[in-house]
A and B are shown apart, each in its own frame.
Chain A
Amino acid sequence: MTAPFNRPDAHGYYGSFGGAFIPEMLHRNVAELQARYLEIMQDPTFQRDVDALLRDYVGRPTPLFLAERLSAKHGTQIWLKREDLCHTGAHKINNTVGQILLAERLGLKRIIAETGAGQHGVATATVCALKGLECVVYMGEKDIERQAPNVARMRMLGATVVPATSGSKTLKDATNEAIRDWINHPVDTHYIIGSVVGPHPYPDMVARFQSVISAEIRKQLLEKTGSELPTHVVACVGGGSNAAGAFYHFLEEPEVAIVAVEAAGHGVHTDMSAATTQLGKPGILHGSMSLLMQTEDGQVIEPHSISAGLDYPGIGPMHANLYKSGRGIFLSATDDEAIASAFEVSRLEGIIPALETAHAFAALDQMTFSPDDRVVVCLSGRGDKDLATYMQFMH
């Protein structure tokens, strides 16, 4: 049998991507996670605790909604997986609920996180409040400005928000600062990474916590259509956690088209883009070998996207392997296309999507469908946090 697409090998590799490229200062913590995450996650009492919080606190299962007017526009069936209805407004909390329970099992009392759009920061601050744990969130200075409501939410939840002022002052730099914090607090701290990036075992651990998305889609689609397999699953990719969760249980089903949508910024062939698979080469960022936007000399390029959650020069190693192997179809949407789609979906379906999610909707315009296709779009989050940006486009 060939290697599965959704799980890495024992060293954390998906094909040639992954691994744990970390300085020795992080070794003990990362090695402990590597040694224990599967045993903890597979423990029935742990699973029961995760399931209970997902049901009673997050509000899972989230609905699978047939978007009729959007379906009519594209001449097919479009189903929306409503992660926007999760507590805190995005899929990010599926992961933070899992990781906070894991941190508890590991006896760690101080939680750190990075955030781009602020959704992961809010989801982390939320579970820390729930568990009474100290929470420090690193966020790029530029993102603090463009996602102000989420900064306020984190503070209200009792988290300390620390601005990252180096580099492009966005998600990459926030992640650097979080990793440096972890190096400086080796004993008491758990780092809740917000996407399927970072050193092994993070990509696999986060993908497993997010895989509840596709597990539910399979069940719901069977109930609603009589078939548990969609023809297409479409999701936006920053680091790739909502996509990993939406794809997870379909990756070994070759008849399901896997569609990942990256942020093209001003356009893939401008120097203001974040379309990593189109522009990147194999390289190491934040502890894993993946595709990376970088110069000839191996310096990381500062990306651009209007959406803070997609404004990242890398991509999780699982997705790099989906790209390289051809298992995934990688599309991209520009800032303008995403904005237009956000308005369109709002008016067709009465749902204001997050800017990140709007990229997934924009990519539908680049695809052709048959009337009896079953297209699932992962509606990763709601757009409340993006109103300031959307307001600039209301004429």
Chain B
Amino acid sequence: MSRLHELFKHKSSRILNVYCTAGFPHADSTLPVMKALQDAGADIIELGMPYSDPLADGPVIQQSSGVALQNGMTIAKLFADLKDFRRDVSIPVILMGYLNPVLQYGFKRFCGDAAAVGIDGLILPDLPEYEYETIYGPVMKAHGLDMIFLVTPETSEDRVRRLDELSSGFLYAVSSSSTTGSGKKMDSVEAYLMRLKGYGLQNPVLVGFGIRDRETFDTACKHANGAIIGTAYIQQLEHSDEVEKATHDFLGSILT
């Protein structure tokens, strides 16, 4: 059974998934950030693979990607950094990234290397389900990687059900139609999450985009299994030299 399945079997509420861009803030930050997140109480880590043209991201994550690229982060370097990470990190870790760098690395090679170092799943936001089903999905499954699709408030019921069927691990519910870190109001998010809950989906649902503090985390957790925090955590790291302290303070403010 995958680490994600294992996690959700034992814990089905207030799951905290934290996003960080690999190679940010420093070239050698990736592992220390992951360890700090685990120690501070994160349930899942979502590692971003930086890309020059991150279409779905707002300025904060764009900038963290730019910094990471300047720090020399590449997929090859990431797998080298992650070679022995399972000695220190036991919680599920998923990789999030735009498709192009992954294709240049070679999709099969990528899935093989990811599975070998102990990655649990992938979020590839610009991989459409047609290409997933016809080309890429079977490769991921052969390597035991979970695939997490996104749904938004604009996604129709039929399509939510279809993407839920294609997903494993969890389903990523984008809270509002926006790029990351837009700070859009979460007014209508409760109605949307209740709608999703009413569908009786096969996967747990985690809510992302706009979750930034205790209040927004609580709102998300009322009607979903948990939430994903990205931009707000990146901002904490930007403003601190100490990864561990920044991580503990930030996660502490959300979890306690």
Q: Can you name the residue of chain A whose Cβ is closest to the Cβ of B182? A: A184
Taking a contact as CB atoms under 8 Å apart, the answer to whether B177 and A184 are in contact is yes
Taking a contact as CB atoms under 8 Å apart, the answer to whether B75 and A297 are in contact is yes
Q: Can you name the residue of chain A whose Cβ is closest to the Cβ of B72? A: A297
Contacts of B155 in A (CB 8 A): 24, 27-28
Contacts of A292 in B (CB 8 A): 100
Contacts of A27 in B (CB 8 A): 152, 154-155, 159
Q: Tell me the A157-196 residues at the B interface (CB within 8 Å).
A: 166-167, 172, 176, 179-180, 183-187
Q: Can you name the residue of chain B whose Cβ is closest to the Cβ of A179? A: B55
Contacts of A287 in B (CB 8 A): 126
A-contact bits for B44-82, CB 8 A (1 contact / 0 none): 000000011101101000100000010000111000000
Taking a contact as CB atoms under 8 Å apart, the answer to whether A298 and B56 are in contact is no
Taking a contact as CB atoms under 8 Å apart, the answer to whether B104 and A298 are in contact is yes
Taking a contact as CB atoms under 8 Å apart, the answer to whether A184 and B178 are in contact is yes
Distance (whole angstroms) from the CB of B36 to the closest CB of chain A: 27
A285 to B126, CA, bound (A): 10
A282 to B53, CA, bound (A): 16
Taking a contact as CB atoms under 8 Å apart, the answer to whether A294 and B56 are in contact is no
A230 to B163, CA, bound (A): 49
Q: Could you say which of B51, B177, B179 contacts A299, with CB atoms under 8 Å apart?
A: B51
Contacts of A183 in B (CB 8 A): 55-56, 177-179
B151 in contact (CB, < 8 A) = yes
Contacts of B241 in A (CB 8 A): none
Q: Could you say which of A21, A25, A299 contacts B152, with CB atoms under 8 Å apart?
A: A25
Contacts of A53 in B (CB 8 A): none
Interface size for A (C-beta < 8 A) is: 35
Taking a contact as CB atoms under 8 Å apart, the answer to whether A24 and B75 are in contact is no
The dominant DSSP class at the B interface is loop
Q: Tell me the B135-164 residues at the A interface (CB within 8 Å).
A: 149-152, 154-156, 159, 163
A27 to B53, CA, bound (A): 19
Interface size for B (C-beta < 8 A) is: 40
Distance (whole angstroms) from the CB of A384 to the closest CB of chain B: 32
Distance (whole angstroms) from the CB of B209 to the closest CB of chain A: 9
Q: Specify which of A167, A172, A187, A297 lies most central, judged by the most chain B CB atoms within 10 Å of its CB.
A: A297
A294 to B104, CA, bound (A): 9
Distance (whole angstroms) from the CB of A135 to the closest CB of chain B: 21
Q: Could you say which of A22, A24, A179, A286 contacts B151, with CB atoms under 8 Å apart?
A: A24
Taking a contact as CB atoms under 8 Å apart, the answer to whether A284 and B177 are in contact is no
Q: Could you say which of B103, B156, B159 contacts A284, with CB atoms under 8 Å apart?
A: B103
A99 to B201, CA, bound (A): 38
A392 to B104, CA, bound (A): 41
B-contact bits for A258-282, CB 8 A (1 contact / 0 none): 0000000000000000000000011
Q: List 10 A-B contacts (CB under 8 A).
A: A24-B151, A24-B163, A27-B152, A185-B177, A186-B154, A285-B100, A297-B104, A297-B105, A298-B101, A300-B52
Chain B residues at the A interface, C-beta cutoff of 8 Å: 51-53, 55-56, 58, 62, 69, 74-76, 98-105, 125-128, 130-131, 149-152, 154-156, 159, 163, 174, 177-179, 182, 184
Known: A24-B125, A283-B103. 7 other contacts (CB 8 A): A22-B128, A24-B155, A25-B152, A27-B159, A183-B55, A284-B126, A297-B74
